[in-house]
Every structure is written in C-alpha cells, then in structure tokens.
Structure 1
Amino acid sequence: MARAQGARSQLAVAFETTYGTPPATGFTRLPFASSTLSAEQPLLSSELLGYGRDPLAPIKDAITADGDLTVPLDAASIGFWLKAAFGEPETTGDGPFTHTFRSGNWSLPSMAIETGMPEVPRFAMYSGVMLNQLSWTLQRSGLLTATMGLIAQGETVSPVSQAGTLADLDQARFGHFNGAVARNGTALGNVVSAQVTYSNNLDRIETIRADGMIDGADPTIAALTGQIEVRFADSTLVQQAIDGAPCSLEFAYALPSDQSLTLTAHAVYLPRPRIEISGPAGVQATFDWQAARDPVAGRMATVTLINDIEGY
C-alpha cells in the first residue's frame, strides 16, 4: 500500500465564476512549500446524565475549512494570490505585462483549490476559497516565501482529480538578494529585516445550513501592517514617529530578466519605539508600522507586478 508523501503532492488553482462552484476546467499547477488547508469537524462531548459514569456518544460540531499555504514569491505564480488578495488587476503592455493591484476593492474573487496526494489516492477540492491574509518577511538570506491565510466554504474529497488537465507556469523566483526597501522614494539604509502583512479581515457568514458550510466570507476594513528592524544610525524614523507624520514605504524585488514585484504603502505611520542598549554590539530599533488610506493616492496600497503572464 502506497504512503502519502509531500514530495508527490500537487496544488491546482482556478478562480470561480460563482462562489462555491469550482470550474470544470482552467486549473493551473502552482508551486508551494507547505499547506495546512483542510477541513475539520470536532466532536462535542456529551453532557447528559443518568447513564452511569461512562459518557454517552459525542456529537459532531460545525465544519471548518481553512488553513495556510506557504508559497514562493515567484514572478509568475504570485499574481494568482495578489488577485485573490486585492481583486482584479489593471493590466497594460504587450509583453512584458504590467499588472497593477489596488487596495480597497469591496469585491474579491473566490478560488477553487485542489490539493492532491496521488499515491493514496486523495484529491481534496476546496471551493469558495477567499484570501484572508498575505504576509512575508524581508531579510538578508534564506528562502523567500509568503504565507497565504485562506478561508474556504467547504471540502470535497475524491479518489481522482477534479481539476482536469493542468496548465503550468515557468517559475521566476525572487530571492532575498533581489529585495530593497525605500522610504519616500529613497533607499532606506540600515534595514536588518522587514515584515509585511496585508489582511482583508474576512467576516465568515456562518448561517444554519444542512451541509454545515458557510455562506461566504465578506471583506471588512483591510489592514496593512508590518515591522521594520533597523540598525540605529540616525534619528530619521524616530523623529517621524514623534512628529506623527506619514511616509511612503516601498518593498520591491527585481530580477535581471526585468520581472519585478513592488508593494507601495502610500501612508505609513510609525510608533515611537524603545531604544535599548543590550550589550556591546550594535543598537537596533524596531518599528511596528501601520498603513492608512492616503488622500492623494486615494488608497492604502498599490502592488505592481511585471512579468510575462498576459492575465490572471
């Protein structure tokens, strides 16, 4: 009997036309590093008395289908996740193509995601998948990945794939070496690490249904937050925090092939941090920043993706 191995697993993704209804075709194989996306249904212990010390049988509670996907920041595949996070992009150019994603959309697309373990075989199709949170960390070295927090309507398990023939993408993976951080259009020096989190703060619509699924997940007030850790070399960021003035922060990656990814937070506010001296080594300061809607740009964030993909 074959045993499931992560090395043989696969991930297929497609956008839905109708929430909760996976399309029959149009799935794309996407790279991923790990997945906790799954459905679970806990048991509720019986509280009934009168039958001795041994408990009566438990009953099933509500079904929850959600989890995280860890994926590479790849010039091709990241567009699927950006569309799920921000909505339909504006695409220009005739190759390379420039995809511009903007925060603030009230209407976000749903996805159908199938995780497959062919040796069991087990193919789990998750319908009505919405992206709740996207986050990644910038640092000097290591593998560059992002975490996608997902909320699904439900799970359907089959011994055969329901995704049909999969389209494949040519990978063009970004690395930490390709990253840069800018403040108000100028490179920000002395950055040790940075963390970026965009959240749609989805509201699960948990109505009473015979199938135990949710009715949907609606976006509420979005949030763009993060953390910057810098070597303390000047008072520029500290003074901005004291003044309470916003700045723009830009987190960018670029490949020699002219493919790039840039997230711009248009109005970032910094808290006043502790400046601690913890030993003889260099002094560092950590800023837990928050972004807000910029009245000039008319939005909180813009993500620009340049690649060879015509559309998502």
Structure 2
Amino acid sequence: MARSLGARARLALGFETTYGTPPASGFIRMPFAPGLTVAAEQPLLDSELLGYGRDPLAPVKDAITADGDVVVPIDAEAWGHWLKAAFGVPTTSGTGPYTHEFQSGAWDLPSFALEKGLPEVPHFAMYPGCRVNQLQWSMERSGLVTATVGVIAQGEDKSAASQAGTLTEPALRRFGSFNGSVQRDGAALGNLVSAEITYANNLDRVETLRADGKIDGVEPGIAALTGNVVVRFADETLLQQAIDGAACELVFGYALPSGESFTLTAHAVYLPRPRIGIDGPQGIQATFDWQAARDPGTGRMATATLINDVDLY
C-alpha cells in the first residue's frame, strides 16, 4: 500500500473565469514550502437529546469550512500569481524586462482554483473559488525568504486523478535575505534589525444555505497593511514621527543582480509611540507596530511592483 510523501506532493493553481468553476486548462505548478494547510474541515456536533441513557446518540455533521495557508517562496516569477490574486490584475509595461504594478484597493479580486495532489494514494483535492485573504512575510538579515498566503476556498472536490491537466512550470529565481532592503522616504532605514509585513483583504464569507455545503462566495472588506519594524535605538527619527503623528513612506524590497526585483511601497505609514525598555547591558531596541493608510497623493494605500521577464499575469 502506497503512503503519501510530502516530497512528492504538488500544488497547482489556475485562475477562474467564473467563480467556483475551475478552468479546463492553464494550471500552473506552484512552488511551496512546508506549512501547506489548505483543506476542508467538517466538525461533528454532539447530540443534545436526553432520555436515552448515559451513552450519547450519534453526532450530526456541521457546516464545511475550506481554507488554510500556503507557505511560498518570494521569487521573481511565481510570486506574481499570488500578487495578482491578492491585489487584482496588474498594469504591465515594458518590452522585457516587464514591470508589473499591483495596486491596493481593487474591488474585483480574481478567483482561482487550487489542486493539492498526493499521487501515491492517489488523492487529488480541488479547491474551487479560492481568494487570497492575506499575505504575510518577514525580513531579516539572513535566512530563507518565504511568505504565508491565507486562502479562503468555496469548498473541496476530491478525485483519484488530477483535474489540472498539463501544468506550466515557472522558472524559480528566489530572492534571499541578502537581497532585501527597507527605505524610508527614499533613504535606507538605518539600524534596522527586522521587519514584518501583512497585507489583508479581510474577506467576508457569503454563507448561504446550499445543498452542496459550499459557500456562495467571498467578498472583499476594508483592506489593511500593517507590520512592525525593529530598530536599534540610535536616534529619535522614528520616535519623533510617532509623537508628531506624521506619515512616511516605507518601501520593502528585494533585487537580484540579474535585474529582477520586487518592492512593496506603503505610501502613508503611521507609527505608534512605543515603549523603550532596558533589558540589560546589550544594545537597546525599539519595536514600532506600524499601519498604513490611503495616501491622498497617490489615491491608494500600497503599490507592489514586480520586474521580471514574464510578459503577462
């Protein structure tokens, strides 16, 4: 009897034309890291009936929930598909390399289908009607660069064979921590130890009564762009900004020597006034839990820019 192995698992993504209907072709093999939790779950409800003795009656099935996380590398090509799902279709310019600009605030977020395949069993689970609820990643001096993508799906359809067809496989060119940088108002943010970034669509499930147990859809709520920066306390620039209640622009980016790059620009970032404690004789650090808002000048909260040799997303 075959046993499923994570090393042989695969993940395929295909954008839908109609919500909840997986495409007949055009699926992409997506790279992913340990931590894939997208799945359907259906809990059991304990029987509340009395009068049948101390032993309980059979439980009743509750509603089905299909969602979870996908841990993915931030790279020069496949990452663009997750950006498209989170922000909407980008504006593309150039003739190679191409510049793809994703803007926050879009009402029309594309839906996609995910297929999680375990070929040894065989077990192939198709998740139609997926939308990205949030993207989250951190920046540090060293280590692998991955992001956690939160996904909400309409439901789950199981099959003994793949329904994704022939897969397109993007070239994998990963960004590393060494390639990362953070800028504040056009200048490098000094004394930076680490940073965290979370973009959330705050999706709302449309949970109507259906015979198949699936939801009717997911609708975007008020978006949020939040995170934190941890800095060695060497000057009062950020502290003074927090006290003044002023906004700044933060740009989180990665760039490869071959020319590919990814940047996320938070156009109007506000900082809270943090506690600055002394924990010992070592250097003192301060953590600023920032949040972004709509910038009156650009008319949006954030812009994600991906430069690569892909002509269209």
- State the TM-score bracket (shorter-chain normalisation): over 0.9
State the SS of the aligned residue for 1:80.
helix
Q: Please name the residue that 1:281 is paired with.
A: 282
Letter of the structure 2 residue corresponding to residue 217 of structure 1: V
Q: Summarize the alignment of residues 159-308 of structure 1 with structure 2, pairs less than 5 Å apart.
A: 159-308=160-309
1:181-229 deviations in whole A, cap 9, x for unaligned?
A: 0000100011000000000000000011111111000001000000000
Distance 1:115 1:257 in 2: 32
Whole-angstrom CA distance in 1 between matches of 2:114 and 2:124: 10
Report the Cα distance in structure 1 between the residues aligned to 2:274 and 2:96, rounded to whole angstroms.
Answer: 45
Alignment of 1:77 onto 2:72: no
Give, in angstroms, the shift of residue 50 of structure 1. 1.0
- TM-superposed deviation, 1:54: 0.6
CA positional deviation for 1:15: 0.4
The alpha-carbon deviation at position 85 of structure 1 amounts to 0.4
Q: Deviations over 1:129-179 (max 9, x none)?
A: 000010000001111100000000011110100000001111110001000
Q: Which amino acid aligns with 1:93?
A: G
Secondary structure of 2:289's counterpart equals strand
**Structure 1 alignment gaps of length 5 or more:** none
Q: Structure 1 residue 28 and structure 2 residue 32: aligned?
A: no
Rounded to whole Å, the distance in 1 between the matches of 2:168 and 2:85 is 19
Counterpart in the other structure of 1:13: 13
Q: Deviation string for 1:53-105 (max 9, x for gaps)?
A: 11110000000000000000011000000000000000011111100000010
Q: CA deviation at 1:311?
A: 1.1
Amino acid at match of 1:153: Q
- Secondary structure of the residue aligned to 1:154 is coil
Which residue does the alignment assign to 2:131?
Answer: 130
Q: Over aligned residues, Cα RMSD in angstroms? A: 0.5
SS in 1 for 2:156: strand
Identity %: 70
Give the partner amino acid of 2:220: P
AA at the equivalent of 2:33: A
Displacement of 1:113:
0.5
Report 1:50-89 matches (<5 A). Answer: 50-89=51-90
Q: How many residues align?
A: 312
What SS does the corresponding residue of 1:240 show, helix, strand or coil?
helix
Give the whole-Å Cα distance in 2 for the aligned partners of 1:216 and 1:135: 23
Q: Could you list the per-position Cα deviations for residues 90-133 of structure 1 after superposition, in whole angstroms to 9, with x for gaps in the alignment? A: 00111111000000101100010001010110010000000001
SS of equivalent residue, structure 1 residue 165: coil
Query: Aligned pair 1:120/2:97, yes or no?
Result: no
CA distance in 2, matches of 1:119, 1:309: 33
Give the corresponding residue for 2:311: 310
Q: How far apart, in 2, do the equivalents of 1:142 and 1:3 lie?
A: 32
Counterpart position of 1:157: 158
CA distance in 2, matches of 1:3, 1:227: 42
Name segments (4+ residues, structure 1) moved above 3 Å. none
For the residues of structure 2 that align with 1:307 and 1:6, how far apart are their CA atoms? 30
CA distance in 1, matches of 2:143, 2:248: 29
1:254 shift after superposition = 0.1
The one-letter code matched in structure 2 to 1:86 is F
SS of the residue corresponding to residue 275 of structure 1 reads: coil
Query: Residue 218 of structure 2 aligns to which amino acid in structure 1?
Result: A
The superposition leaves residues 18-49 of structure 1 with CA deviations (integer Å, 9 ceiling, x where unpaired) of 00000010001010003100001000000001
1:310 shift after superposition: 1.1
Q: Secondary structure at the match of 1:268?
A: strand
Matches of 1:72 and 1:246, distance apart in 2: 31
